[in-house]
Every structure is written in structure tokens, then in C-alpha cells.
């Protein structure tokens, strides 16, 4: 029972006891008053009869007539005339009958009315005594009416008193309710301040103390968040232009090469400046800084139409553009437009007196390429462009060593794979000190020749054909079915950005989650950081849906982006997955420890597990374990393997 109910019950009991006491006192007073009033009436009647009968005491007819008339004209139980010796001269009495009053009231309420007496004098001689006994029925009727009025008044006053006490207690204890909600919010890793400060001194102190504690924790959280964002900018961005640096560019390209969606293929562009050495000024000169900032604005302008584009400044007077999910015509067009923009910006720089040439190299990357291969291809294309006229853009021509399927052939292959159940699920476990946390699900395609292909090869085509949502549904249904057959395993399934942005797909997901209550303990969902950045409102709705239905979810491919970091407080995922490269942030151990401390503070304050991914060796694991990371995923921890006897299970179902 809550404190409010306990106090309300105590107040109600006290009010009840007080009102019952007052009711009893009033009722007893009314009973005594009624009894006295009945006795006084009987006494007056006895005196009147004694005076009227005295002169004509010998007239028996007069005596009978007078007593009968007086009896019939009032409420009396009996009127008796007796002589001095006790002889009854005349008595008028009727059986006692009381109607209209409950028997329970008559049985438990006693009305004691004394018998009124008056002496009858015949001259100076006492003839006898007139005895008048009042009728208790009249007294009971008056008491019953009084009792009903008192009960009605009791009910009204009791209801009013209880209502007033309820409102007063509600007002006084509202501060406690706010404190309770604030404590619950803190337990849920939320920062809630109570704006209404109660007037009660004791409660006021508690509320102020809670607000001070929450404000302090929130300040610490925000400070670590700001520090982490600042460290990320220091690590990943060029101080002069604000563009990303080469280390981040390479890291992002490596991440895209390992992706299993549409960004797994695209183009890399490198733009090189020649002739800067003729200026005979240092790279830190304000003239050079102004030029670099102007070139950075050109890069941002020319890539603004491509939402996934990433631009960076390289050493040796080079700039780079990363264009995921792009074709050759788009990449070449952006490269040529950027080169022309560079030349215009250089021409507008009046401090530049020597000619500066700009050339560009373009190369394609796919999921089958290695990072070094892609960088070599684009460097080679830039070298070829520099050997030609200034302003030339050269695209590296890949040699086609195998037949490339056309769009229609891909459609047939992917459709048939759905029909034949040739999408195979595999999984890689996430391991921690307490054992296996879950297994992340991966998908591959078995082609017509029985060759298995990883998702990075066919996912870009599948997305361009509009099959990605269907594949997500396929994976979710197979994962749920596999968990039913193997309830001891927890599977984590990635949801693509396209799925999250489709209204019908989200409706299907709600129905799937509502119908799959028996698998909620064994199924987790993962949203990618890129999805958070592109569709934050949709991701917040999905987070609320997962929380409401009791499903776990996490953020995959988390790069500590400032937008994603600010969303963590609202989404409160169960875990975030961060690649090892983003955790080994600085060569300086002191700076690395500061960044790791900020990450852990944010994760711990929101009760989020931190999982390090792309762990390739035991040495890498040990390096991160020293910094208190307890969950790991990667080939150095456990390899990707088929889900048990998944292939046989698909064949049976």
C-alpha cells in the first residue's frame, strides 16, 4: 500500500471515529431530550387530571370520560387512577405497537420514560394518585427521524472531510510523487529535474537535494559528451579546413569495403595540387589557410547533392572524396566540377602569383577489393592525370576478369533464391567475461552453381532492385524460427536503412513483434549509426517500440558521431558496437585514456554495454581489455559460422 493510501486511510479512520463519537453524543442528547419531553408532557397531563377530577371524584362517569378524552388526545401508553390504598379506580391502556421503525433500532435503542404521578385531592383529603405513562412509540419516531438526519449529516460531512483531506494530501504529497518519478527516471538513466518545489520544509530539502544530484550527474554526462565530441574532431578532422583527415578517410573506406549493403561499392576521388612549392611560403601561412578553406567550400558545394559523400584533406596538397553507392558518370562529373571549382578559387586568390595546377583521379571500389588495392588504383589514376594537361581527370579502368550479370539476370537470380531458400544465415558470437552475449546474424547467397557469396557482393544490386525490405523480412522470419528450434541462442539481426524508411515495412515489423512474444528473449535488433543520422525520428520511434514490447536493440557500426552520441540519451539502446579503430584513438596513451574514460562514463550512465568489433587477434583484445572493455566480436574472438544445422532446418521448413 502506498504512503498516500496509508495516510488517507489513517485520516479517514480518524474522521470516522470523530464523526461517530459526535453522532453518538448528539443521538444520546436527543434521546434524553425526547424522554424528558415525553415525561414533562405526561406530568402536565397528570396534574391537569388531578385538578379536574378532585371536585367530582365521586362521579365515575366523569372520571372515565375525562381519562378517555385525555388518553385519546395525546400519546400515552396508560393512564391510571388509584386510591390511596392501591385500589385501581380506572385505567386506560392499549397494547404497545410501534410501526415504521426497524426492529433493529427498537431492540438496540432503549428509551426510559419515568411514569408521571399527581395526587388527587378531595378537599383537604388525598383521594388517590393519577399515573400517566408516556407512549414510547412517539419517542422512538422522533429518535428515528433524528437518527436519519444525523446519519445523512454524517455521510455528507464525512464525504466532504475525506474529499478535502484527499485534496490536501494530494497537494502535500505531490512532491513525494515527483521524487518517486525522479528516482525512477534516474534508475532508467534519465535526467529529470523537479520544477515544483514544495513549501513543506522537509520535502523541500529532499527535492532540492535530488535536483542538485541530478543536475550534477547531468553536468558530468554533458561534459564527457562534449569532451568526447571535441576529441573526435581533434582526431578525425583537419584543423585548418574542418574536413576529415586522411586517417578517418581510410578508416571509413575500410568500413565501407566490409559493408553488406549498397555502400559496399562506389568511387574514390583524389584531387592533387601542383605548383604550391613555388610560392616559397610555409604551409601554415595565412594565405595557404585561406586557399585551403576556399577549396574546402568548393568540395562541400559539389558533393552536397550526395548525402553519403565524405570529403577529406590529405597531406601533400591533396583532397579526397568518397562517394558510396555511385556510378562512374556521377563520380566523374563530380570530380570534373570540383577541379573546375578549384581552378576558379585559385584564380580568385590574389595572393597566389604562381600558377597552381589541379588534377583528379577516380577509381571504383567494391566489396571484393582490398583497401590497399583501392588506394593504389586511385593514386595511379591521379598520376596519369598529372602527366597530362592541368585540369585533367582520369578514371582508373578496371579489367573485367569475369562476366558481369545484367540487371535482369540479377533479378532472376535473386528472385529464384527466395523461392529456393538459397539465402543462408550464419552468425558470429559476441563474447564477454560472463560468456556469450548474443550472435550477430549474417547472410550469404548460394548461386546457381552452388557458390556462396557474401552480402557485400549482391546487396547493392538487391537494394537497387527494391528487394532489401523483402530480404530483411526473410531474415527476421528465419531468425525467429531458428530461435524457436534453438531457444538457448540469442540472435541479433541488422535492419537496413531502407527498411526503417518504408512505412509498410514498419507496419509489418509491428505485427511481427506483437506476434513474436515467445521469441522476444532470444531476438535482438540492430540499427546502424548511419540510419540514426539519416532518420533520427524514425529510429526514436523504433526504440520506443522495442522498449515497449520488451525487445533488446543495439547500435551497430557506431563511430562516435556527435549526432549519434546526442541520440543515445533518448534511445537508450542495450549496447553499442564500435570498431576497434575508433577505440584506439590516439598515439598518446594519456589522450586515449581520457577519451575511453569519457566513452565509459557515457555508456555506464545510460547502462549501455560497449562492444568492441573487428578484433583480429588476441593481442588486440588484450589491449582493449586493459581499458576495461569486456565484450568483443571479430575473427580473433570467434569466426562466422553457420547457425547450427541451419541449412537442414531451412530444407525442412
Q: How many CA atoms lie within 13 A of 174 on its CB side?
A: 12
pLDDT of residue 278: 66
Burial 172-189 (b: 16+ CB within 10 A, else e): ebebbebbeebeeeeeeb
For residue 601, pLDDT over 50 is answered with yes
pLDDT of residue 319: 95
pLDDT of residue 651: 45
Give residues with Cβ within 8 angstroms of 478, minimum separation 6. Answer: 423, 425, 646, 650
User: For residues 386 and 375, what is the distance between their CA atoms, to the nearest angstrom?
Assistant: 16
Instruction: Report residue 140's pLDDT band, with 50, 70 and 90 as the boundaries.
Output: confident
pLDDT of residue 50: 80
**How much is the average pLDDT of 119-131?**
80
For residue 361, pLDDT over 90 is answered with yes
pLDDT of residue 96: 66
pLDDT of residue 646: 39
pLDDT of residue 270: 94
**How much is the average pLDDT of 364-393?**
88
pLDDT of residue 404: 52
pLDDT of residue 279: 62
For residue 179, pLDDT over 80 is answered with no
For residue 573, pLDDT over 90 is answered with yes
User: For residues 363 and 342, what is the distance between their CA atoms, to the nearest angstrom?
Assistant: 20
3-state secondary structure of 429: strand
pLDDT of residue 399: 53
Is residue 189 within 8 A of residue 607, CB to CB? The reply is yes
Domains annotated for the chain, with CATH where assigned, are 3-160 (3.30.110.200), 244-395 (3.30.70.270), 407-652 (3.20.20.450)
For residue 143, pLDDT over 70 is answered with yes
Is residue 295 within 8 A of residue 319, CB to CB? The reply is yes
pLDDT of residue 653: 41
Burial 354-391 (b: 16+ CB within 10 A, else e): eebbbbbbbbbbebebebeebbebbbebbeebbeeeee
| DSSP string of 87-155, one letter each residue | -EEEEEE------SS-HHHHHH-----PPEEEEEEETTEEEEEEEEEE-HHHHHHHHHHHHHHHHHHHH
For residue 174, pLDDT over 80 is answered with no
3-state secondary structure of 448: coil
pLDDT tens column, 207-254: 888 888 888 877 877 787 787 777 777 778 888 888 999 988 998 888
Percent of the chain with pLDDT over 90: 22
For residue 347, pLDDT over 80 is answered with yes
pLDDT of residue 430: 94
439 vs 127: which has the higher pLDDT: 439
| DSSP string of 246-289, one letter each residue | HHHHHHHHHHHHT--SGGGSEEEEEEEEESGGGG-S-TTSHHHH
**How much is the average pLDDT of 562-569?**
84
For residue 76, pLDDT over 60 is answered with yes
Least confident of 197-201, 339-343, 607-611: 197-201
For residue 474, pLDDT over 50 is answered with yes
3-state secondary structure of 572: coil
pLDDT tens column, 17-56: 887 888 788 777 877 777 787 778 878 888 888 888 777 7
Percent of the chain with pLDDT over 70: 91
Instruction: Report residue 401's pLDDT band, with 50, 70 and 90 as the boundaries.
Output: very low
Instruction: Report residue 645's pLDDT band, with 50, 70 and 90 as the boundaries.
Output: very low
pLDDT of residue 402: 40
pTM above 0.85, yes or no: no
pLDDT of residue 405: 62
pLDDT of residue 612: 92
**How much is the average pLDDT of 196-202?**
77
Q: 381 - beta bridge partners? A: none
Nearest of 54, 49, 88 to residue 71 by alpha carbon? 49
pLDDT of residue 473: 93
For residue 284, pLDDT over 60 is answered with no
pLDDT of residue 251: 87
| DSSP string of 328-385, one letter each residue | HHHHHHHHHHHHHHHHHHHHH-TT--S--EEEEEEEEE-TTS-HHHHHHHHHHHHHHH
Long-range contacts of 383-389 (CB under 8 A, 24+ apart): 385/272, 385/359, 385/360, 385/361, 386/272, 386/274, 386/357, 386/359, 388/359
Give me the chain's average pLDDT, please.
Answer: 82
Instruction: Report residue 400's pLDDT band, with 50, 70 and 90 as the boundaries.
Output: very low
pLDDT tens column, 479-514: 998 988 888 889 999 998 889 999 999 999 999 998
Neighbours of 135 (CB within 10 A): 22
pLDDT of residue 588: 61
User: For residues 439 and 432, what is the distance between their CA atoms, to the nearest angstrom?
Assistant: 12
pLDDT of residue 441: 93
pLDDT of residue 465: 83
Amino acid at each position: 500500500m502506498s504512503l498516500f493510501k496509508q495516510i488517507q486511510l489513517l485520516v479517514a479512520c480518524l474522521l470516522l471515529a470523530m464523526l461517530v463519537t459526535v453522532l453518538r453524543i448528539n443521538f444520546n442528547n436527543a434521546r434524553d431530550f425526547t424522554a424528558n419531553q415525553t415525561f414533562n408532557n405526561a406530568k402536565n397531563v397528570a396534574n391537569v387530571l388531578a385538578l379536574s377530577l378532585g371536585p367530582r371524584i365521586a362521579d365515575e362517569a366523569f372520571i372515565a370520560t375525562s381519562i378517555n378524552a385525555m388518553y385519546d388526545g395525546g400519546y400515552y401508553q396508560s393512564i391510571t387512577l388509584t386510591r390511596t390504598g392501591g385500589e385501581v379506580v380506572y385505567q386506560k391502556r392499549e397494547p404497545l405497537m410501534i410501526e415504521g421503525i426497524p426492529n433493529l433500532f427498537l431492540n438496540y435503542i432503549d428509551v426510559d420514560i419515568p411514569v408521571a404521578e399527581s395526587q388527587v385531592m378531595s378537599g383537604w383529603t388525598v383521594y388517590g394518585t393519577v399515573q400517566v405513562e408516556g407512549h414510547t412509540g412517539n419517542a422512538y419516531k422522533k429518535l428515528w427521524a433524528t437518527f436519519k438526519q444525523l446519519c445523512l449529516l454524517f455521510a455528507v460531512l464525512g464525504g466532504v472531510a475525506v474529499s478535502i483531506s484527499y485534496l490536501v494530501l494530494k497537494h502535500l504529497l505531490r512532491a513525494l510523487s515527483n521524487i518517486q518519478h525522479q528516482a525512477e527516471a534516474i534508475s532508467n538513466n534519465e535526467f529529470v529535474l523537479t520544477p515544483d518545489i514544495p513549501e513543506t520544509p522537509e520535502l523541500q530539502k529532499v527535492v532540492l537535494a535530488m535536483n542538485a544530484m541530478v543536475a550534477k550527474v547531468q553536468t558530468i554526462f554533458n561534459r564527457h559528451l562534449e569532451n568526447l565530441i571535441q576529441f573526435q574532431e581533434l582526431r578525425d578532422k583537419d584543423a585548418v579546413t574542418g574536413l576529415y583527415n586522411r586517417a578517418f578517410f581510410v578508416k571509413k573506406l575500410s568500413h565501407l569495403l566490409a559493408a553488406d549493403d549498397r555502400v559496399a561499392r562506389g568511387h574514390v576521388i583524389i584531387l592533387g595540387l601542383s605548383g604550391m612549392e613555388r610560392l616559397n611560403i610555409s604551409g601554415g601561412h595565412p594565405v595557404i589557410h585561406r586557399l585551403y578553406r576556399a577549396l574546402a567550400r568548393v568540395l562541400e558545394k559539389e558533393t552536397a547533392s550526395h548525402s553519403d559523400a565524405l570529403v577529406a584533406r590529405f597531406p601533400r596538397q591533396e583532397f579526397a572524396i568518397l562517394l558510396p553507392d555511385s556510378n562512374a558518370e556521377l563520380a566523374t562529373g563530380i570530380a570534373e566540377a570540383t577541379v573546375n571549382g578549384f581552378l576558379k578559387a585559385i584564380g580568385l586568390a590574389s595572393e597566389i602569383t604562381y600558377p597552381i595546377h589541379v588534377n583528379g583521379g577516380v577509381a571504383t571500389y567494391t566489396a571484393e577489393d582490398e583497401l590497399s588495392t583501392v588506394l593504389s588504383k586511385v593514386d595511379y589514376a591521379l598520376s596519369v592525370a598529372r602527366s597530362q594537361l592541368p585540369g585533367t581527370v582520369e578514371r582508373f579502368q578496371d579489367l573485367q576478369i569475369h562476366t558481369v550479370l545484367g540487371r535482369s539476370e540479377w533479378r532472376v537470380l535473386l528472385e529464384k533464391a527466395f523461392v529456393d531458400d538459397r539465402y543462408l544465415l550464419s552468425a558470429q558470437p559476441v563474447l564477454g567475461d560472463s560468456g556469450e552475449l548474443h550472435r550477430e546474424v549474417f547472410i550469404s547467397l548460394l548461386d546457381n552453381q552452388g557458390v556462396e557469396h557474401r552480402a557485400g557482393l549482391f546487396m547493392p544490386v538487391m537494394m537497387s532492385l527494391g528487394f532489401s525490405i523483402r530480404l530483411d523480412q526473410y531474415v527476421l522470419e528465419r531468425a525467429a524460427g531458428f530461435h524457436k528450434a534453438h531457444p538457448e541462442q540469442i540472435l541479433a539481426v541488422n535492419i537496413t536503412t531502407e527498411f526503417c524508411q518504408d512505412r509498410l515495412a514498419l507496419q509489418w515489423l509491428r505485427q511481427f513483434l506483437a506476434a513474436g512474444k515467445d521469441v522476444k528473449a532470444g531476438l535482438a535488433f540492430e540499427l546502424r549509426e548511419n540510419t540514426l543520422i539519416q532518420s533520427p525520428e524514425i529510429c526514436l520511434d523504433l526504440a520506443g517500440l522495442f522498449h515497449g514490447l520488451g525487445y533488446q536493440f543495439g547500435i551497430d557500426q557506431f563511430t562516435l558521431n556527435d549526432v549519434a552520441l546526442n541520440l543515445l540519451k533518448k534511445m537508450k539502446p542495450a549496447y553499442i558496437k564500435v570498431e576497434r579503430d575508433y577505440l584506439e584513438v590516439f598515439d598518446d596513451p594519456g589522450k586515449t585514456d581520457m577519451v575511453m574514460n569519457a566513452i565509459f562514463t557515457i555508456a555506464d550512465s545510460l547502462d549501455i554495454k560497449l562492444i568492441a568489433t573487428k578484433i583480429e587477434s588476441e593481442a588486440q583484445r588484450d589491449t582493449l581489455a586493459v581499458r576495461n572493455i569486456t565484450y568483443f566480436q571479430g575473427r580473433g574472438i570467434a569466426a562466422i559460422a553457420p547457425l547450427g544445422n541451419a541449412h537442414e532446418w531451412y530444407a525442412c521448413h
